Amino acid sequence: MAYAAVWGMRKETHLVGQEYSWLGSIFYFGYLGALVPCLYLVNKVHIGRFVGAVTFLWGVVILCMAACHNFAGLATVRFFLGIFEAGILPAFMVMQVKWWKVSLWMAV
């Protein structure tokens, strides 16, 4: 968002007052709301499919950001970016734990 603001996002999307600051915060609202369900899903679903699906959906949402022309559209997109990004960190942590478990087993 920082580069987009430099290149005229605020003017083109008619952001006024604190709306630009709220766009940064709304991302974390989505992230916090989706973190617990993602922690559950990452342990119940095949991890490769989970990471693939979350990454694909994140990419689709980031493409939708180009279609936004007002605060409401940008806020919606930023919220969903937070939701889909919330699954990545837990998935990578689980993958790392599984890798170390295999590596330690092979060393013995």
DSSP string for 61-93: HHHHGGG--SHHHHHHHHHHHHHHHTTHHHHHH
Looking at residue 108, what is its pLDDT?
Answer: 54
Looking at residue 84, what is its pLDDT?
Answer: 95
Segments in the chain below pLDDT 70: 1-12, 14, 101-108
- What are the residue ranges spanned by the domains of the chain? 17-107
Looking at residue 69, what is its pLDDT?
Answer: 86
Looking at residue 10, what is its pLDDT?
Answer: 66
Looking at residue 49, what is its pLDDT?
Answer: 93
| Contact partners, residue 96, CB within 8 Å, separation at least 6 | none
Looking at residue 60, what is its pLDDT?
Answer: 96
Looking at residue 86, what is its pLDDT?
Answer: 94
